Chain A
């Protein structure tokens, strides 16, 4: 066993030098000669028939090369694909530009292509569209009511799909319950808002009959397959490149109308075409996340033991599905058991069409909802039964020796020690001390609250059988003739830092310096195959593929070395990038020499293929289940409704850690987004389906000042699912943090008789709530 030098170390990122000097290339930074610019006219109505369009003036505008409407290309470009399957699924046709009808504000209607961006935008103003407004429904609960406006006439009930999951004897659980606690919960819609909006650049070479499409995407390989279908091109003529990508958070884990549209235009016009999304377009047309309204009901014994849980939820789908839209709410169902033993469980999801943009995967994707449901309701139960929220959690945790632990929802949690993480968080936060402080402050009329969240999440996605488009990942490791190492990975990092962590893995295997390794990703013509970066899978699945490829290369190198040294492969030892004969350190050959020999191929073992490269495709046998305990201490001022976070401790367990610096970064960013949901963020549509939070002026993204200094710690419970023992960490912070904050605020306001508040906890809402409760008390007393 070689001594690990780099895996586990806080290695600075290798991607940073180009980024901190402004030399990286995001889509809009790529300049192609002769490029045209596209701008898209979007619907100002949430629901309307398109009666007529006049585009001639736009066509005559100087610099305009083409103006294209939905009707003109409906037969030439396929619809926006949906990958998630469900037997009850209803899939309305979503053309890349609207045909006859628009169903949400921001749906593309006409595209203009011009010599420069300004001309393209100018021409949009010259297009006239005659809309006949139709009745709108933007609230998913109202969409289900009889007599509600119908979005797709084929399905007058507006139901997009149903998903039910039922395990254990729920009726018995509720019959035997000593207490039943119910709560309605709203998971508001959120906008992912990668700071780089989406963008597409396409170039078609007619002679070669090849389309190259650069897109700000998390899934270049899946996009390549889908594009070839949409554009009716042989897949081997399509190349997708994800260049530098400025954040995704799930919003770029999709196949969008614009990708098909811009690809089509480049083929048709035989010139490169670029489209860069504006922030307004991004708010209107890029997927949103969350958007669930549910009612949870839990059956418990007086001592806090959970007997059963039921969750009925309406999922706000929007007007059309995107790639994974129907796959998100079922994940909520699967994870409802949280970190607890719940013998009986049922979830009923109703996906509902509304006149809004689609919801889909946003950081956490279905699991933050599940965690919020279970962590909120367990606190409600604790409050009702007057049990400490720590005790009730401990009571219902599976013990470490119960792993692998099978949940009532049918999942197998790989490994865990939930008590361990919680104990560490209690110690680091000084939990007991804060309880004392809380009592003291309450006497002085100050409201301190302590919130816990002991989450578990599902990631490392995942076994292909359970995934809509494959769950494996590929890795290729090649030692070049000069000894430099090239790594190709099918994952598509966009900030996560795998150019560094994968290099760490290979550097340790080969004993070569980090600088000798180069990690390439995101180009379907270079990386043979792949799935992409999402579901906190990149390192657990993609890292494992790279690790295994490196091992294969090393095995081959060993055989070559044995041949060169005229020794038995078993008699060789590997250290410092060199094979040598056991006990005769002088008699050896370096990896670099072996690589050169492998390429010259003049003296290789019989029947061995030349070259020193290997590919591994890793198919995980299970998901992985990271977990942790977050503790948040807040002080709420009832006079202003302001919430101050006094302390935030996060203990996360993501299995083995390759690079602690990167893991900390992921947790920080994840918590920032979870806190954003808890306190600030909310997509708001009015009754007419108009988006009221259509710019960053109206949508509150957390700023540096809004966030506290976070205190992080870890426990390390390796997963048996992959040889690296890593679980994944990209979404854990988001999943774990939201309920910790809300629980803290509810705890702070318990003296007012508050048992729940829906997110986001804006000061105005808190202030009103405190005032109402006070008034009601005064009335009661009077």
Chain B
């Protein structure tokens, strides 16, 4: 299969690779870059486990080709916070028990990240609606809502 050259900036680092044009972004991130924090739960744009930020927007990386992301900037869960300095969302999920098995969590956190960029002070309803593209089978979402509220508060306070 012919290969195509792509260059991406991922979590602040530059990468260039030859890839098959059909290679999905999620497989590129996981298999070629080794960033396995982005998960796959459905391959059909429903569950949101594969959510990452591409050029400032949350996207489902299971239905984006790597070549479509060429030249773009990607943020994955691994680039969001550090051990000593968690992102307020990560902290919120931890504090509020916003995860159980953790499989949906990276995607959920990045979807919430976009939500808070757009609505720094969301109501519960806005949070629930804003996370409609992300499924969690474990938590029943209530603690996830609490986690996002926690992060929103913390981010507003630190401004």
Query: Which positions in A face B, CB cutoff 8 Å?
Result: 12-13, 15-17, 19-26, 28-29, 31, 117-118, 193-197, 244-247, 249, 276, 278-279, 494-497, 661-662, 664-665, 668-673, 695-697, 701, 703-705, 707, 709-710, 733
User: Which of A23, A29, A245, A733 lies in contact with B101, CB distance below 8 A?
Assistant: A245
Among listed B2-10, B35-43, B63-71, interface-contacting one: B35-43
CA distance A28 to B38 in the complex (A): 11
**A704–B144 CB distance below 8 A:** yes
Q: Is B117 an interface residue (CB 8 A)?
A: no
Q: Is B55 an interface residue (CB 8 A)?
A: no
CA distance A669 to B39 in the complex (A): 21
The answer to whether A195 and B41 touch (CB under 8 A), given A12-B97, A704-B141, is yes
The secondary-structure label for the interface of chain B is: loop
User: Which of B20, B34, B41, B132 lies in contact with A279, CB distance below 8 A?
Assistant: B41
The answer to whether A20 and B86 touch (CB under 8 A), given A196-B39, A672-B140, is yes
Contacts of B131 in A (CB 8 A): 703-704
**B137–A22 CB distance below 8 A:** no
The answer to whether A695 and B101 touch (CB under 8 A), given A23-B37, A28-B36, is no
**A696–B139 CB distance below 8 A:** no
CA distance A705 to B80 in the complex (A): 26
Number of residues from B at the complex interface, CB < 8 A? 58
Q: Which residue of the partner chain B has the closest CB to A19?
A: B102
How far, in Å, is A731 (CB) from chain B's closest CB?
13
Q: Which 10 A-B pairs have the closest CB atoms?
A: A22-B37, A246-B103, A19-B102, A495-B101, A668-B140, A672-B140, A495-B100, A22-B77, A29-B36, A696-B46
CA distance A263 to B145 in the complex (A): 41
Contacts of B77 in A (CB 8 A): 20-22
Q: Is B61 an interface residue (CB 8 A)?
A: no
CA distance A243 to B91 in the complex (A): 24
How far, in Å, is B104 (CB) from chain A's closest CB?
5
How far, in Å, is B154 (CB) from chain A's closest CB?
14
16 A-B pairs whose Cβ atoms sit less than 8 Å apart in the complex: A12-B94, A23-B37, A26-B39, A194-B101, A244-B102, A247-B100, A279-B42, A279-B47, A664-B143, A669-B137, A669-B138, A672-B140, A696-B44, A696-B47, A703-B132, A707-B140
The answer to whether A20 and B137 touch (CB under 8 A), given A279-B42, A704-B145, A707-B142, is no
The answer to whether A193 and B43 touch (CB under 8 A), given A29-B36, A705-B128, is no
Contacts of B132 in A (CB 8 A): 703-705
The answer to whether A17 and B103 touch (CB under 8 A), given A668-B142, A701-B137, A704-B131, is no
User: Which of B46, B103, B140 lies in contact with A710, CB distance below 8 A?
Assistant: B140
CA distance A246 to B128 in the complex (A): 22
Contacts of A670 in B (CB 8 A): 140
CA distance A669 to B139 in the complex (A): 4
Q: Which residue of the partner chain A has the closest CB to B48?
A: A195
How far, in Å, is A396 (CB) from chain B's closest CB?
30
Most chain A beta carbons < 10 A, residue from B93, B132, B138 = B138
Contacts of A16 in B (CB 8 A): 93-94, 99, 102
Query: Which positions in B face A, CB cutoff 8 Å?
Result: 20, 22-23, 27, 30, 34-44, 46-47, 49, 76-78, 80-81, 83, 86, 90, 93-95, 97, 99-106, 109, 124, 127-129, 131-132, 134-145
CA distance A497 to B141 in the complex (A): 17
CA distance A22 to B103 in the complex (A): 9
**A497–B100 CB distance below 8 A:** yes
Q: Which residue of the partner chain A has the closest CB to B139?
A: A669
Most chain B beta carbons < 10 A, residue from A13, A247, A497 = A247
CA distance A169 to B62 in the complex (A): 60
**A665–B143 CB distance below 8 A:** yes
**A661–B97 CB distance below 8 A:** yes
**B135–A696 CB distance below 8 A:** yes
How far, in Å, is A449 (CB) from chain B's closest CB?
22
Contacts of B134 in A (CB 8 A): 704
Contacts of A197 in B (CB 8 A): 41
The secondary-structure label for the interface of chain A is: loop
Contacts of A279 in B (CB 8 A): 41-44, 47
Most chain B beta carbons < 10 A, residue from A494, A668, A704 = A704
**B135–A20 CB distance below 8 A:** no
The answer to whether A193 and B137 touch (CB under 8 A), given A246-B101, A495-B101, is yes
**B142–A710 CB distance below 8 A:** yes
User: Which of A15, A118, A709 lies in contact with B102, CB distance below 8 A?
Assistant: A15
How far, in Å, is B69 (CB) from chain A's closest CB?
18
Contacts of B46 in A (CB 8 A): 695-697
Contacts of A497 in B (CB 8 A): 100
Contacts of A496 in B (CB 8 A): 100
The answer to whether A665 and B44 touch (CB under 8 A), given A16-B99, A21-B78, is no
**A495–B97 CB distance below 8 A:** no
**A13–B101 CB distance below 8 A:** no
Most chain B beta carbons < 10 A, residue from A195, A197, A707 = A195
**A672–B47 CB distance below 8 A:** no
CA distance A195 to B90 in the complex (A): 20
Q: Which residue of the partner chain A has the closest CB to B93?
A: A20
CA distance A649 to B74 in the complex (A): 42
Q: Which residue of the partner chain B has the closest CB to A197?
A: B41
**B124–A709 CB distance below 8 A:** yes
CA distance A745 to B39 in the complex (A): 38
CA distance A29 to B102 in the complex (A): 14
CA distance A672 to B102 in the complex (A): 17
How far, in Å, is B63 (CB) from chain A's closest CB?
12
Q: Which residue of the partner chain B has the closest CB to A247?
A: B101
How far, in Å, is B133 (CB) from chain A's closest CB?
9
**A118–B36 CB distance below 8 A:** no
Most chain B beta carbons < 10 A, residue from A31, A661, A697, A703 = A703
How far, in Å, is A672 (CB) from chain B's closest CB?
3
CA distance A249 to B138 in the complex (A): 9
Kindly list 11 other residue pairs between chains A and B, CB separation below 8 angstroms, not including A20-B109, A195-B103, A704-B141: A15-B102, A20-B90, A20-B94, A21-B77, A22-B36, A22-B106, A24-B102, A26-B36, A195-B39, A695-B44, A697-B46
CA distance A587 to B20 in the complex (A): 72
CA distance A25 to B102 in the complex (A): 11
CA distance A20 to B145 in the complex (A): 15
CA distance A118 to B26 in the complex (A): 13
Q: Which residue of the partner chain B has the closest CB to A116?
A: B31
**A21–B97 CB distance below 8 A:** no
The answer to whether A196 and B135 touch (CB under 8 A), given A245-B101, A662-B97, is no
The answer to whether A709 and B39 touch (CB under 8 A), given A16-B93, A196-B101, is no
The answer to whether A13 and B103 touch (CB under 8 A), given A249-B137, A279-B44, A696-B44, is no
**B43–A247 CB distance below 8 A:** no
**B47–A195 CB distance below 8 A:** yes
How far, in Å, is A233 (CB) from chain B's closest CB?
30
Contacts of B137 in A (CB 8 A): 193-195, 247, 249, 669, 672-673, 701
**B140–A118 CB distance below 8 A:** no
CA distance A709 to B125 in the complex (A): 10
How far, in Å, is A410 (CB) from chain B's closest CB?
34
Q: Which residue of the partner chain A has the closest CB to B23?
A: A118
Contacts of A17 in B (CB 8 A): 83, 94
**B40–A697 CB distance below 8 A:** no
**A196–B43 CB distance below 8 A:** no
Contacts of A494 in B (CB 8 A): 101
Q: Which residue of the partner chain A has the closest CB to B146?
A: A709
Q: Which residue of the partner chain B has the closest CB to A666?
A: B100
**A12–B95 CB distance below 8 A:** yes
Q: Which residue of the partner chain A has the closest CB to B95?
A: A12
How far, in Å, is B105 (CB) from chain A's closest CB?
6
CA distance A20 to B81 in the complex (A): 9
Contacts of A673 in B (CB 8 A): 137
CA distance A695 to B42 in the complex (A): 8
How far, in Å, is A551 (CB) from chain B's closest CB?
29
Q: Which residue of the partner chain A has the closest CB to B37?
A: A22
How far, in Å, is A140 (CB) from chain B's closest CB?
26
Contacts of A697 in B (CB 8 A): 44, 46
Q: Which residue of the partner chain B has the closest CB to A117?
A: B27
How far, in Å, is A383 (CB) from chain B's closest CB?
30
